[in-house]
Structures are given as structure tokens and as C-alpha cells.
Structure 1
Amino acid sequence: MPANELKPTLADWLESGEYLPEFMRDFHDQKDVFKAMHHIIKNADENGNARDGHIYVVDTFLWYMARCGYTLQRSRKQVEFRDMEGDIDKMKKDVYSAFSKLVEAQHG
């Protein structure tokens, strides 16, 4: 490393969001993950709503874990996992469909 380049600090790394998986570094993508999770897991709201869960998990839990040296990573276990993108797409499709039906019923 050249002498004029400063080694990044823990604060720099946390501020960058690089401790999060790439697909979760954008706020809107994070929202989609939590909305999909609450859409797929039928009793998820019994443990709090998607917004509060999003804030706690991303802004508090994962940030604190990263501060202590831990990061979230995809498992290498050779089992068949759910497709998160598929879950997100299904949630968006279902929400769009419900909204379309509501608009159609009001303006029908």
C-alpha cells in the first residue's frame, strides 16, 4: 500500500455498507427482502412488522455484528435453498395484482 493511502478504518468500512451482501446494500432492495419475507412467512407479523424488522436487523443487528467482525454470507451447504429473487418477484406480483383488483373495483 503506498504511503499516501490510508488504511481504511472500521468506521469507514461500516459506513460503506460493504459488510452487507451486495444484494442488500441498497435500501430499496433491503425493503424488498423484508417485504418478501413477511409475504412468504405467514406468521411473520406475529414477531413484528417488516419495517421494524428491517430497521432492527440491518441498522442495528448486522451493523453490530460487523463491528465485531462477523458478516452475513450465503451458506455453502449442499441443500436445496429457496430462491430469494423468486420470493421477491412473487411478493411484487401479488401486491401488484391486489392493487390492480382494488383499483378496478373502485373504478369498475
Structure 2
Amino acid sequence: MDETTAWLESSAHLPPPLRDFHDQKDLFKAMHEIINLQGNDIARKVGWATGQCYVIDVFLRFMARRGYTLQRSRARVPFRDLDQDVRAAREARDTATAKALAEWINQPTTKESHD
């Protein structure tokens, strides 16, 4: 394996928040939910998993092989907090899942007659 391929395989070309698959998944789910809430028609046409695979496995890898990497901006402007956005989206999903599960568990049962 050549040096560049080894570097790519190590995921060193990705910024720290994108090096772990599960972190990627949480980020792309959050991004998809946040963008859709803002009414973005393009985001609705691409599922979060397809977007994750394309961006991580295709686009960023393609660019990294050519010497370009994604990095945090050094501009001194009030950026949103990535971790906070991902955490809030995950908590909202967890709450919705717990509510749906509780409703399913607590639904009235119907007695079937076996006469």
C-alpha cells in the first residue's frame, strides 16, 4: 500500500468529528434533520445515509488524495456549535423514539374471543 493510501485508510484526512463511523452517523442524521426543518428541497432528495457515504467515502477521499482536507475555519465570526447541534438532534430523536415506544407498550389490548 502506498503512503497516500495508508494515510487515507487511517482516516487522518478527516477532521476529528468525522473519524469515527458512529460520530459520522450522528452528524449526518442531525444535519439532515436540521436542513429539512429549514425547508431545503435538496436535502429531502438525499437520505442521510446516502449523503454520509457520498461525502465521506467519495468526495472527501477524492479531495484528500489530491491534497485537500476539510478543516475548521479560522474566521472570527460566531459559528454554531457542532457538538451542541448534534447532541440536541440526538436527544430529540431519542425522546421521540421513547415516546413512540411508550405509546405502543401502553396501547389497549383487545381480547379475542375463542368461542
- TM-score scaled by length of structure 1: 0.87
Q: SS at 2:74's partner residue?
A: coil
Gaps of 5+ in 1: 1-7
> Structure 1: which 4+ aligned runs deviate by more than 4 Å?
none
Q: Does 1:59 align with 2:53?
A: no
**Farther-moved stretch of structure 1 (50-59 vs 11-20):** 11-20
Alignment correspondent of 2:5: 11
The letter of the residue matching 1:92 is R
The structure 2 residue matched to 1:70, chosen from 68, 71, 75, is 68
Task: Give yes or no for the alignment of 1:97 onto 2:95.
Answer: yes
Higher-Rg member (1/2): 2
RMSD: 1.3
What code does the residue aligned with 1:89 have?
Answer: R
CA distance in 2, matches of 1:40, 1:55: 19
Q: How many residues align?
A: 101
The residue that corresponds to 1:3 in the other structure is none
- Cα deviation 1:22-75 (Å, max 9, x = unaligned): 121111111111011011112363240100000000000000000000000000
TM-score (normalised: structure 2): 0.82
User: What are the equivalent positions in structure 2 for 1:14-93 lying under 5 Å apart?
Assistant: 14-42=8-36, 43=40, 45-93=43-91
